[in-house]
Chain A
Amino acid sequence: MELFGKKRKKKNGTVSLNAETIIKVFEKPIYWHIRRMVVSHEDAQDVLQETFIRIFLSLDTIKNNEALKVWIFKIATNECIRHLKKKREQSLSDISESELLAERLETSEYINLEDAAGIRLQRAILTLSQQERIVFNLRYYNEMNYEDIQRITGYSINVLKVAYHHAKEKIKQELLN
């Protein structure tokens, strides 16, 4: 796929996407998806760059525009997982991923600590396991259907429904506490 060619209207009415369009459409949603996973703005910026590098290098493999959103979110999610794994390995202590991210929530820049309710919710979300957090974020914030989440995560729809329900219950308990 020519990344910098002109946008062409195909016979079936869909528009051939180029790099500029992809960035325009997906830059913000992907950034916020990544930010919710890694918490720190600096880390989110790095992961966003890596994500788009991978997108541009393998754009030819995507067969149709309808699957583009799911494919891009899948790449972004995998990059987040890769990044968090690297951070855990670099960390000198035996701190868990949840604890590491909770610490980031308190100390990172570009976090509005005056938004108490927002902080409470994020802190509650960060107590979830990584898989639960991914499912919850994609369902709650991105309002994705289970079929798309299945394509992103590889889990069956039943497992996703259980994970989302479990995540909600855990967050409920945390908020009540």
Chain B
Amino acid sequence: MENNLNNIGKRMPYYVPEGFFEHMHDQLLSTAKQSEDKRKFNFRYKWIAAAVIVLIASISFMVSQWTGKNKQEQAIAMINETEYPETMLPDEELDSWVEFTEEDIFINNFSNY
């Protein structure tokens, strides 16, 4: 195998059209330039996208804070505005409560403490 390979060496039956590598060189340089422009665009685009996301997040946060505060104030206002009806006990029931408290040993005895 070594003798055979020594005879053949590293030559190959392949060849290229005339001027191929020169033409390819220019083509690859153009490709490199396009890739560079694409990378720069992507870099800028990512920063812009990040800034927009931060802005939207900030606005959303501020809106949620404002609506939350508003809701709280509304709830308080509702409570203040609500009129609770005053219930009046009939006289007989009032009298029975008075009698009960007078006879209640716990109230009478512990009130002295």
Contact = CB atoms under 8 A, between A and B. Distances in A.
B76 interface: no
Given A3-B36, A48-B24, A57-B38, A172 B4 contact: yes
A111 B36 contact: no
Chain A interface size, as a band, is 35 or more
B62 to A, nearest CB: 37
A19 B29 contact: yes
B1 A171 contact: yes
B contact patch SS: helix
Contact of A41 (B17, B32, B33, B35): B17
Contacts, number: 94
B14 A111 contact: yes
B39 A110 contact: no
B28 A23 contact: yes
B24 to A, nearest CB: 6
B29 to A, nearest CB: 6
A3 B33 CA distance: 8
Interface residues of B, number: 26
Contacts of A119: 13
A27 B21 contact: yes
Given A56-B35, A56-B36, A115 B4 contact: no
A112 interface: yes
Interface string B18-55: 00010011011101110110110000000000000000
7 contacts: A3-B35, A4-B36, A19-B33, A49-B31, A112-B13, A112-B15, A175-B4
Which 4 pairs of residues, A with B, have the shortest CB-CB distance? Answer: A172-B1, A19-B32, A118-B13, A56-B35
Given A23-B25, A121-B5, A172-B4, 12 more contacts: A20-B32, A24-B25, A28-B21, A32-B12, A36-B12, A41-B14, A45-B24, A52-B28, A56-B36, A111-B15, A112-B14, A140-B5
